Chains A and B, each alone.
Chain A
Amino acid sequence: MSISVRNVSKRFGDFVALDGVSITVAPGSLTALLGPSGSGKSTLLRVIAGLETPDSGSVFIEERDMTGRRPQDRGVGFVFQHYAAFKHMTVFQNVAFGLAIRKRPRAEIRKRVAELLELVQLDGLAGRYPSQLSGGQRQRMGLARALAVEPSVLLLDEPFGALDARVRTELRDWLRRLHDETRTTTVIVTHDQEEAMEVADEVVVMHRGKVEQVAGPRELYDLPANEFVMTFVGQANRLGDAFVRPHDLELTLEPNGTTREAMIERIVHLGFEVRLDLVREDGERLQVQITRDEAEQLELESRQIVFVKPTRQTTFR
């Protein structure tokens, strides 16, 4: 196993950040730590990096016990949400930092930095200062800097959180492609479930300091382990004890057997999909998702009465 976290706990005063968390990360994989704020995902990442010390438990990286070791001795690469750029150094000097302090020969450093800058598409900007770069460029620099020392694991703490939506999606794809090329074991922390699903091989869903489920994106969506995972990853309607995905609600214009009656409050056109916000007589709200074609066929209007029936539902005991 590339990373093995065993029963790690951490409190900050009264606040329990991590409660007996254990995970393993396979070598060469891209794993996402997904959860709302306060779930402990950033703390877990920093514990792996050695930037936080756990109150109990151990951390193994590449089969070696790193618990208690300083960050500089763990061989990890860390990328920060707000870039943590060395603002008094040029892009070149930033990326070269890890190599410079290891006293590598100048020619080697120059070559490696040039390679990396090309890899992250910042070639030509080597002489600039971070304050002269855009957010996306700064983050790519941060990545190049972390990769320069060939870390055994790469840890990214909400790396795209401070960027515009468009830049975020671009960098997301780019990161996945970069990972496929370098095959470095990577762990990325995010609160954005779409990001986790798009980018990761495996997702660790966290909530209030505990691990809720560890699975690939598809399994996470189709076979959620509990109510929290079901409602956090994707949308879910609650019908009594059961949970139903918006696209698993069949819509008809006439009642049919076990259908329930509801009124369309709002029709939202989201490009290919159409989302319908429905409200029942008792005030309960439902969301239904259908394709554009289906919507066109049914000729739906606001305030229209329709009938829904789940084609698939999940219950948790």
Chain B
Amino acid sequence: MSERAGAALSLGFVTTFITVVVALPIAALAWSASKKGAGGFWDTITNPEALAALRLTLAVAALAALTNAVLGTITAWVLVRDDFRGKSTMNAIIDLPFALPTIVAGLLLLTFYGPRSPVGVHLAFTRGAIFVALLFVTLPFVVRTVQPVLIELDVEMEEAARSLGAGEATTFRRVVLPNILPGILSGVTMAFARAVGEIGAIVLISGNLPYRTEVASVFVFLRIQSGDPDGAAAVAVVLLAISFAVLLVVGGIRRFATKHERP
């Protein structure tokens, strides 16, 4: 086969594959949501149950993402700068939420925080349950985006700051933080996207009570089950828009972060 033909075939395969597998279903979704027109769309998503679900989802997702931003940064710091026995095990365990099926994660949480909780914490059917579930699934995000940035960080910048008289807190605030901030931000936004879309970890422990503990993804699911895919599509499109927005933000952060690197 000639080289040109081979390259063209490969490119053709790639574009066709991604179109058929990802782009077309998304297009079908967008089209379905637009079927009832802008008015119909607006009505569906301002339906009180839908609004409640979206509000709850966005609020708890943001809270979980931000909590993990702080704790994730601390964890990344400890993993990169500290050394102790069991560190590599600790490093491997962090990926557990990535490797574990979300429904099993849900079961874990139900066992630990549910009716038969050994620590006496009974969160089942509460918003606290959703928060803890989202903490679990978003735990690795900020850690994994901050670690490489910390490693890349020129330690000599911190030494320079110290030699100029800056204390540890000042050095962190003025020298380390500005340089790891892009890493933290991209981790937080991806964590937010994941949290907004989560279903498996929540569906068992939250009880899915409308207006109380029903999240957007569960709302969509129930809509489909009750035979209203177009109504589901409206809310789904809102979630889709959030996902695209997150990807745009992350891309923008990456471009901004390399701005100071350009020689």
Q: Does B255 have its Cβ within 8 Å of any Cβ on chain A?
A: no
Q: Does A249 have its Cβ within 8 Å of any Cβ on chain B?
A: no
User: Interface segment, A82-90, A181-189, A212-220?
Assistant: A82-90
* Contact in complex: A131, B160 (CB < 8 Å): no
* Contact in complex: A149, B160 (CB < 8 Å): no
* Contact in complex: B165, A51 (CB < 8 Å): no
The smallest C-beta distance from A103 to any residue of chain B, in angstroms, reads: 11
List B105-163 residues whose CB lies under 8 Å from chain A.
154, 156-157, 159-163
The smallest C-beta distance from A66 to any residue of chain B, in angstroms, reads: 13
Q: Could you list 23 A-B pairs, sorted by A, with CB under 8 Å?
A: A50-B163, A51-B162, A71-B159, A71-B162, A76-B163, A77-B163, A78-B160, A80-B156, A80-B160, A84-B159, A86-B161, A87-B154, A87-B179, A88-B178, A97-B174, A101-B164, A101-B174, A131-B261, A131-B263, A132-B263, A142-B160, A146-B164, A149-B164
Give CA–CA (A142, B157) in the complex, Å. Answer: 11
Give CA–CA (A71, B159) in the complex, Å. Answer: 8
Q: Does B85 have its Cβ within 8 Å of any Cβ on chain A?
A: no
* Number of residue pairs A-B, CB distance < 8 angstroms: 70
* Contact in complex: A85, B157 (CB < 8 Å): yes
Most buried by B among A49, A71, A102, A149: A71
Give CA–CA (A146, B170) in the complex, Å. Answer: 17
Q: Does A98 have its Cβ within 8 Å of any Cβ on chain B?
A: yes
Q: Does B260 have its Cβ within 8 Å of any Cβ on chain A?
A: yes
**In the complex, what residues of A have CB within 8 A of residue B240's CB?**
none
* Contact in complex: A101, B160 (CB < 8 Å): no
Give CA–CA (A87, B174) in the complex, Å. Answer: 11
Residue of A nearest to B177 (CB): A88
Give CA–CA (A142, B156) in the complex, Å. Answer: 12
Give CA–CA (A254, B154) in the complex, Å. Answer: 62
* Contact in complex: B175, A86 (CB < 8 Å): yes
List A61-117 residues whose CB lies under 8 Å from chain B.
70-72, 76-78, 80, 82, 84-88, 97-98, 101-102
Are A84 and B160 also in contact (CB < 8 A) when A131-B261, A131-B262 are? yes
The bracket for how many chain A residues form the interface is: 20 to 34
Q: Does B167 have its Cβ within 8 Å of any Cβ on chain A?
A: yes
* Contact in complex: A86, B261 (CB < 8 Å): no
**In the complex, what residues of A have CB within 8 A of residue B178's CB?**
88
* Contact in complex: A51, B159 (CB < 8 Å): yes
What 1/0 flags go to B237-263 for Cβ under 8 Å of A?
A: 000000000000000000000001111
Most buried by B among A51, A82, A101: A101
**In the complex, what residues of B have CB within 8 A of residue A72's CB?**
162-167
**B positions within 8 Å CB-CB of A:** 154, 156-157, 159-167, 170, 174-175, 178-179, 260-263
What 1/0 flags go to A127-138 for Cβ under 8 Å of B?
A: 001011000000
Are A102 and B165 also in contact (CB < 8 A) when A84-B154, A131-B263 are? yes
* Contact in complex: B166, A84 (CB < 8 Å): no
Q: Does A145 have its Cβ within 8 Å of any Cβ on chain B?
A: yes
What is the interface of chain B mostly: helix, strand, loop, or mixed? Answer: helix
* Contact in complex: B161, A146 (CB < 8 Å): no
Give CA–CA (A260, B76) in the complex, Å. Answer: 69
Residue of A nearest to B163 (CB): A78
* Contact in complex: B262, A149 (CB < 8 Å): no
**In the complex, what residues of B have CB within 8 A of residue A149's CB?**
164-165
* Contact in complex: A49, B163 (CB < 8 Å): yes
* Contact in complex: A87, B260 (CB < 8 Å): yes
* Contact in complex: A88, B170 (CB < 8 Å): no
Contact of A101 among B165, B260, B261 (CB under 8 A): B165
**In the complex, what residues of A have CB within 8 A of residue B174's CB?**
97, 101
Residue of A nearest to B263 (CB): A131
Most buried by A among B160, B162, B167, B174: B160
Residue of B nearest to A46 (CB): B159
The smallest C-beta distance from B62 to any residue of chain A, in angstroms, reads: 27
Give CA–CA (A87, B152) in the complex, Å. Answer: 13
Give CA–CA (A72, B160) in the complex, Å. Answer: 10
* Contact in complex: B163, A51 (CB < 8 Å): yes
Are A98 and B165 also in contact (CB < 8 A) when A80-B159, A87-B179 are? yes
Give CA–CA (A155, B224) in the complex, Å. Answer: 71
**In the complex, what residues of B have CB within 8 A of residue A102's CB?**
165
Most buried by A among B162, B164, B165, B260: B164
**In the complex, what residues of B have CB within 8 A of residue A98's CB?**
164-165
The smallest C-beta distance from A39 to any residue of chain B, in angstroms, reads: 21
Are A97 and B163 also in contact (CB < 8 A) when A87-B260, A131-B263 are? no
**In the complex, what residues of B have CB within 8 A of residue A49's CB?**
163
